[in-house]
Amino acid sequence: MLRGTFELIGDKSISHRSIMFSAISKGNNKVSNFLMGQDCLSTVSCFRKMGVDIEIAGKDVFIKGNGIRGLKPPTDILDVGNSGTTIRLIMGILAGNDFESTLIGDESIGKRPMKRVTDPLRMMGCDITGKDDANFTPITVRGGHLHSIDYKMPVASAQVKSAIILASLYADGQSIIREKVKSRNHTEIMLKAFGADIKENGLDIIVNPVDELFNQDIYVPGDISSAAFIIVGALISEGSEVLIKNVGLNETRTGIIDVIKNMNGNIEIIDERVVGGEKVGDLLVRYSKDLTATTIDKTIIPRLIDEIPVIAVLATQAEGTTIIKDAQELKVKESNRIKTVVDNLKKMGADIEELEDGMIIKGKTKLHGATIETFKDHRIAMSFSIADLISDSRVMLDDTNCINISFPGYFNLLKDLTK
């Protein structure tokens, strides 16, 4: 069982953005509770290579902004490691800067589609080349002189939306980005604080170019996507009660809380507040004996996309048939998460069927220990460490280093909470 109280580590999406927007602002910025995970450190490393002075001190980061057009041509190839957020958002910034740079990443990044970003940036006038017509790394961006764009988003993706918003800051007129379903809006919230001219009108985002962004002190709330593992662990292991302090509760991210409530899970939000434009609160989660199945579809997918692997583990312990559909985006994450979740849960004895766009899980089933192929996907590794809490013999993960991508100190925390 899991019991105890802890302070949640910083949000990955917000940490990336805090470095990027500070780097192109004018003045001295301070970021507190920054997530020192590998992905966010890849962002730090890319901006250092473009002449930005970034100092790390404990959980704080100090960034001397170079101004919106002050980045330097990189001293080296920009290596984004495993980070989709780094590569996609950075392309939006590079598109507006008058120099050439080349982006690479690890094996997983090499398989992730980039045309969703390179297409709209090309429409804005950016010169981009790369493997398979700039769909895959390595990708070379020659930026400068962008036109405004009126763009209907073909996929619900905050990374794509953010790249176009960032490029729009440098364009020659007003841009409109039209979403079908609202994706996470941390870029809009934070850029407004930096002085950008961004308006939201329903699902449309209207961006005007700016001459400068202005320095900020940013506090990064805790990452609900990281909390998700502990939340599910507490819901499924008998006797658990966990208080998670300082969880980011932006409505574009809280789909998992709605799903848990639908499933009859015992989760409570305590002391809700707003910090730096983002909602924050504490979450009290208790073991929930009578979990019931649910259906998850496109109306909620963007609000919980990263939590689906661990929600699948939860569904194995809920009475009835859980259906997860409209989730084809899972195939182009750090691994093909439909396949990695279904194959590994099958190995553990779950009653689970793979769909083209999701999965069907019948519960409640007893889970058995197995050797799990993580494909070095951090969220797969953590999801199955949670399945281990209730399996009749141990789960063996083929890689645990990948967890440092988003949750350094994860196993120490899990050990502290395990009673």
26 vs 184, beta carbon nearer ligand S3P: 184
Q: Which of 101, 184, 116, 126 is nearest to 151 (CA)?
A: 116
Separation between Cα atoms, residue 14 and residue 23, nearest integer Å: 14
Asked if 363 contacts 319 with a C-beta cutoff of 8 angstroms, the reply is yes
Count residues binding ligand S3P (CB under 6 A).
10
For 392, which DSSP code? S
Per-residue interface string for the shown chain with ligand S3P, residues 162-181, x marking contact by CB under 6 A: x-------------------
Catalytic residue among 39, 79, 306, 377: 306
Among 2, 9, 13, 21, binds ligand S3P (CB under 6 A): 13
240 belongs to the binding site for ligand S3P (CB under 6 A):
no
Alpha-carbon torsion, ordered 398, 399, 400, 405, to 10 deg = -150
**Interatomic CA distance for residues 4 and 78, integer angstroms:** 41
Per CB under 6 A, the list member of 223, 282, 306, 377 interacting with ligand S3P is: 306
84 known member of a binding site: yes
Binding flag, residue 402, ligand S3P (CB under 6 A): no
Minimal CA–CA distance to 384: which of 419, 412, 348? 348
Nearer to ligand S3P among residue 282 and residue 306 (C-beta) = 306
Q: Which two three-digit tokens encode residue 411? A: 């196993």
Does 333 carry a binding-site annotation? yes
What letter would DSSP give residue 233? Answer: H
Kindly report the backbone phi and psi dihedral angles of residue 271, in degrees, each rounded to the nearest multiple of 5, phi listed first: 55, 55
Among positions 181-210, residues that touch ligand S3P (CB under 6 A) are: 184
Q: How far is the CB of 187 from ligand S3P (least distance, A)?
A: 7
Beta-sheet strands, E only, within 251-313: 266-275, 278-286, 295-296
For residue 316 the two structure tokens come to 């194995």
Residue (158 or 367) nearer to ligand S3P, CB: 158
Residue 27 annotated as part of some ligand binding site: no
157 is in an annotated binding site: yes
Q: Which of 157, 175, 237, 340 binds ligand S3P (CB under 6 A)?
A: 157
Closest distance of CB 368 from ligand S3P, Å: 30
Instruction: Out of 40, 139, 305, 403, point to the residue binding ligand S3P (CB under 6 A).
Output: 305
In the complex with ligand S3P, which residue's Cβ is closer, 26 or 161? 161
- Residues constituting the chain: 419
Stretch that binds ligand S3P, among 153-161, 261-269, 284-292, 395-403 (CB under 6 A): 153-161
User: Is 158 among the residues that bind ligand S3P (CB under 6 A)?
Assistant: yes
Residue 88 tokens read as 């996609």
Find the part of the chain contacting ligand S3P (CB under 6 A) among 43-51, 54-62, 158-166, 366-374: 158-166
| CA distance linking residue 130 with residue 136, whole number of Å | 6
Q: Please, what is the minimum distance in Å from the beta carbon of residue 156 to ligand S3P? A: 7
256 binds ligand S3P (CB under 6 A): no
The token duo for 67 is: 């101004």
13 annotated binding-site participant: yes
The yes-or-no answer on residue 377 being catalytic is: no
DSSP 161-230: HHHHHHHHTTBSS-EEEE-SS----HHHHHHHHTT-EEEEETTEEEEE--S--B--EEEPPB-HHHHHHH
Cβ proximity to ligand S3P: between 17 and 30 the closer is 17
* CA dist., res. 360 & res. 348, Å (int): 16
Stretch 85-124: interaction string toward ligand S3P, x if CB under 6 A: x---------------------------------------
* Closest of 322, 391, 393 to residue 363, by C-alpha: 322
Of 249 and 318, which has the nearer Cβ to ligand S3P?
Answer: 249
Q: Does 244 bind ligand S3P (CB under 6 A)?
A: no
Helix (H) or strand (E) holding 23, with range, is helix 12-23
Classify strands 100-104 and 136-142 as parallel, antiparallel or unpaired.
antiparallel
* 379 assigned ligand-binding residue: yes
What are the residue numbers of the active site? 306
Binding footprint of ligand S3P on the chain (CB under 6 A):
13, 85, 157-159, 162, 184, 305-306, 329
Binding residues for 3-phosphoshikimate, by number, are 12-13, 17, 157, 159, 306, 333
